[in-house]
Amino acid sequence: MESIDANMRQSQPEIPPWFEVGGNRLQLIREPAKRLSALVDMLQTADKSLKLFFYMFEDDRLGRMILDILIAACERGVAVEMMIDSFGSNGTPRKFFDPFTQAGGKLAVFSPRFSTSYFVRNHQKMIVADDRSALIGGFNIADDYFNMQQQAEDDGLADDSWEDLGLAIEGPEVANLASYYRLLSNWVYQNNGNMRSLRRMVRHWQSGDGQFRWLLGGPSNRLSPWASAIKKDLEHGSRLDLVSAYFSPGQGLLRRIGGLSKRGGQSRIILPGKTDNGATIGASRLLYGYLLKRHARIFEYQPRRLHTKLVIVDDAVYIGSANFDLRSLFINVEMMLRVDDADFANHARNMVDILHENADPITPELHKSRRTFLNRLRWTISYFLVNTLDYRVTRRLNFGIRK
């Protein structure tokens, strides 16, 4: 705890300013130490309620620290409830959470038994404090998502952390996220594993049709709200900035990205150059040729593993838990917030600029040199597998894919 606090005090770039949008305050937080500080502060200052959902909650240094903070919140009278995904958190023994439940915390596990919904994972990450403030993004509760460059250098190690992004929200819009959490909680406690009721929840729950839209994604016999919204924006947009840990969309969305570039729009796509899941890089590279022919600009981020989920189409900013792949668009339960505001979109693009400066461009010549018969075979198999299997499974299936 002390060394984490010490690293949090290391010199870091200033936290980006808060943005006022529709009566709410928004803050993008990129640096791991600042995200950790925001997370800890939110948990420690809540005085009525805390609601958490995480795909992964690890029994590691950070996980133990956060669990202790949650236990302390319970002991001071805060109503704390948490949900985790059974598959994402399957490496953490359930007894790890016993001190939390013994202190009065409520713990639920999404789809813990084999059923028709078992291959549908809940990939969301969110914290809601007192129904007034929230923190969302792509990060899980695990050491890798909060390690800092300075800490790695001090330890004489390479920086093996994830590049990620969080969004802090304060204001009335948080109440909509809290109401969704309650709906999801009711499903977990009453219908856990019932695929029909899960589809119905994904199809019917929507929040907002103005500057703020909470867009739920997941299994459905039609486009989910999240998939439908991004599809429409791409059809009419003229500028796309996309950062995604995993990029393997279907042909429909791929054509819309290509169409935006082909009709004279600007597309900047930043994808991982490093990962612990080589199959996802292969799946992305399968699609590069199509996009390059349509004048999309593609880059691979190099300093560390990329886990950011951020899409900006003209003045609309999407941020949340979803990657830009078939699982996130049509299978896994995801939550993306769409914020329609020109100033906030420009600010979010500044974040993309930072990543762009540290990314290698993918030229047609480079892509052609990589596009051997063996690599194309690997990429094709990877595309099928990462869009079928959970991310924790495909991590073990790298097929020799490297930079």
CB-CB contact of 384 with 270 (8 Å): no
> In terms of residue numbers, what domain contains 92?
9-185
pLDDT digits (tens, 9 = 90+) for 239-267: 999 999 999 999 999 999 999 988 899 99
Tokens for 62?
Answer: 């950070």
| 166 shares its domain with 224 | no
402 found inside a domain: no
1 found inside a domain: no
165 found inside a domain: yes
- The CATH number given to whatever domain includes residue 36 is 3.30.870.10
339 found inside a domain: yes
Least confident of 3-7, 265-269, 314-318: 3-7
pLDDT at 330: 84
pLDDT digits (tens, 9 = 90+) for 116-154: 556 788 899 999 999 999 999 999 999 989 874 444 444
> Confidence band (pLDDT; 50, 70, 90) for 343?
very high
pLDDT digits (tens, 9 = 90+) for 72-83: 999 999 999 999
CB-CB contact of 151 with 334 (8 Å): no
Q: Which residue has the tokens 């999240």?
A: 226
pLDDT digits (tens, 9 = 90+) for 365-391: 999 999 999 999 999 998 988 877 655
**DSSP secondary structure letters along 317-355:** EEEES--EEHIIIIISBEEEEEEE-HHHHHHHHHHHHHH
CB-CB contact of 55 with 321 (8 Å): yes
Beta bridge partners of 45: none
Please tell me the pTM assigned to this model.
Answer: 0.89
